[in-house]
Structures are given as structure tokens and as C-alpha cells.
Amino acid sequence: MSKLMIQKIWLASYDDYCSSKYFQSDVQKKASHAILHCKTGAFGRNVSECPDCGHIEFHNNSCRNRNCPNCQAVQKEIWVDRRRAEVIDSPYFHVVFTLPHELNPLIYCNQKLLYGFFHRCCAETILELAADKKHLGATPGIIQVLHTWDQEINYHVHVHCIVSGAGLTSDHKILKGKKNFFIRVEVLRDKFKGKFLAGLQSFFKNRRLDFSASCEKLRNSYEWSEFRDSLYKKDWCPYIKETFNGFGNAIEYLGRYTHKVAISNSRILSVDEQQVAFSARSRTPGGPRRTVTLTNVEFIRRYLMHVLPSGFQKIRYYGFLNNRYKTKNLKLIFTIQGRQRFKARYTNLSMAELLKAVWNLNINICPECGCCNMQHIGRTFEPS
């Protein structure tokens, strides 16, 4: 249980949260159910038996919910391994697009619409600028991951993008951009801001936006115009991080973000019946980590804000990595470059083989006699 710190918070205070004033969507209730029952036996158990000594071992199944911090490590390794096979010979860049906090109430009550639109704006901004010959003159590959939190698990909507520094031209050639990045930050900023706010205005005009109590006044056309104009005046500054030595490093780096949830168990310092303490980065670069303390109910409220709408894809692929043409594009690129740099390593491995390959954890060893041939004999299920 020491590894399931967030589960302890739910066990201590989820009933209190349910009896509070806070609304829960169906997908939030499902996430809470998963966190409460993960690795408790509620999702079944796998049963193994040692053929030498007869010892029987029970392994509680995880919930596999994408909002559960206990279930992301294996999925992350599988994802990173698949992306490794899509490496091309190119530098890669980490670009972060962040929306102004003034938009938070509007975004939260229009999540599916505006999260998806945010993804498209980021991709279209990069792709349209990259197509210009004064920047790259080609179509790069882009992997994007939506995050909605900051270090204190407050609502903070941003997209992490890994962008290839080389792209595919319409006449089947590869062009490489500048070493530092082929699009300047201020150019990205102006293009992205204009694109996002124009789309937001279209949603308002066509009555596609919902308005919760926190942004009810924006229904009024005058209030909306004032709000929109104030957003135009703000500095929307994308952030471009340093290049990577190779795409292998970039994929490992992005792997930190892809299957991340709002906060990991490792950041939880202590939990009791009333409150939780967790660590967070310093507000100043290079400063010591700090401790944040919240009531359990407030922690649950913040955590559930980051549960994405049902079926929403937080990881998306654009450019030559778009799902429809990715296989064809990569085959062409590898042919032009003369080789495929990396191969997937974990394809078709069983869970036992994957655990052994990644973490050197051999679940086939009997804990009683040390025999290396524990055999799976079945599954058991309990009502949850």
C-alpha cells in the first residue's frame, strides 16, 4: 500500500467529497471508482501455481484507468517503444503552448470542444508556418500531449509538442531546418493567438459555447467583446526548449508527459484522515522543492478537474505522423535516409516478458522455493 498513496486519500475522504457541494460527472465517478479499487482484487486476480512446491500466488489486477497513477508505467513503456520505431534522422524540439488563465472557466465547461480545438490550433500553427519556405518549406512530424495541471494540481491548460526539425516536401524530399529552431517564438505566438481567438469568436457566433455560473456574463455580446479584446492584448508566449541529441532522447523525454496524471504517488509525502502533503517544484528556477498541504477533499476536487472527457484523445499526431498516412510517410522517409534508426523492442511480448525486459522483474519465480517456472492457472473475480 505504500505505493498507492493517492488511493489512501480516496479511501479516507471520498465519501466526504461525495457529500459535499461538488458536482461529479460520470467519467469522474468512474475514475474515482477505479482509484478506490485498483489492485484490491475488485478487478479480479491472476492465479499462479508453482509446479515444484505447490505454492499458489494471487496477483491483484490493476484498474487500467488512464486517470489512475498506479496503472501508467507499463502503458508508457509500450507507447515509447512504439514511437521509437518512428524515429527519423533529425533534431527534435519541445514546444509548449499555454492558454491564458482568464480562459479557464470557459474551457472547463466546454472541455471536449475546446480541448480538441486547442490541439488543432497548435498543430495548424506549426504546420502552416513550417510549410513556408522562409521557415522550413516542408511538413514536419508532430506529437502533441494535452495537460491541464500545474505543480499544485490547479487548472492550467497547455499542450506539449515534440516537433521534428526536418520535414517531408511535396516532391518527396527531406528538408532540415535551422539548428536552434526553424520558427521564431514571436511568429508562433502571433499565429497561434490569432488562430485560437478567431475560432473562439466563431464558436460564440454559432452558439456552440456553454456558459457556467463562473462565466455566465459572457453570454452578453458586449461582455463577450470586452473579454475577447482583453485576450488579444495579453502576451501569449509559446515556449521552445532546447534541441535533443537524437529522437531517441526526445521520445524518452516526451514519455515523461504522455501517460502522466495530475500528480504521481511519488510526490505524495504524507496522508492522514484529513489532509495530504505533497512536494512541488520551486516557483523560482533552481530553487529547492517546496511542500504543499491541502485537505483531502480539496485534493480530490483538484485531481478530478483533470479527468478528461470520455473518449477524448489527449495524445495526437500531425504532419507526416498523422495516423492516416504515417506508415506510407515513414516508409518513404526511411528509404530516402537509407535506414530506420530504431526498432520496437517490446512488440508481442507477454506482460511477464515485458516486466522482465523493462524492470528486470521476474514474476515467474516462486517466492517460496525459488523455482523459475510459476504457471498461470486461471483468474478469479470479485464484485466491485
* Cβ-based burial of 23 (10 A; exposed 0-12, middle 13-18, buried ≥19): exposed
For residue 80, what pLDDT is reported?
A: 86
- For residue 246, the model assigns a pLDDT of 57
d(CA 76, CA 74): 5
Q: What is the pLDDT of residue 14?
A: 97
pLDDT for the residue numbered 180? 76
Taking 70 as the pLDDT cut, the residues of the chain under it are 1-3, 242-248, 250, 382-384
Tens digit of each residue's pLDDT (9 = 90 or more) over 297-341: 999 999 999 999 999 999 999 999 999 999 999 999 999 998 887
| CATH fold label, 73-261+312-337 | Replication Protein E1; Chain: A, (3.40.1310)
pLDDT for 384 equals 46
Q: What pLDDT is stored for residue 1 in this prediction?
A: 40
For the chain, the three-class secondary structure string (H helix, E strand, C coil) is CCCCHHHHHHHHHHHHHHCCCCCCCHHHHHHHHHHHHCCCCCCCEEEEECCCCCCEEEEECCCCCCCCCCCCHHHHHHHHHHHHCCCCCCCEEEEEEECCHHHHHHHHCCHHHHHHHHHHHHHHHHHHHHHCCCCCCCEEEEEEEEEEECCCCCEEEEEEEEEEEEEECCCCCEEECCCCCCCCHHHHHHHHHHHHHHHHHHHHHCCCCCCCHHHHHHHCHHHHHHHHHHHHHCCCCCEECCCCCCHHHHHHHHHHHHCCCCCCHHHEEEECCCEEEEEECCCCCCCCCEEEEEEHHHHHHHHHCCCCCCCCCCEEEEECCCCCCHHHHHHHHHHHHCCCCCCCCCCCCCHHHHHHHHHCCCCCCCCCCCCCCCEEEEEECCCC
Would you give the end-to-end CA distance of the chain in angstroms? 19
| Residue 209, amino acid | L
> pTM for the full model?
0.91
* Edge-to-edge strand list for the sheet holding 45-49: 56-60, 45-49, 375-380
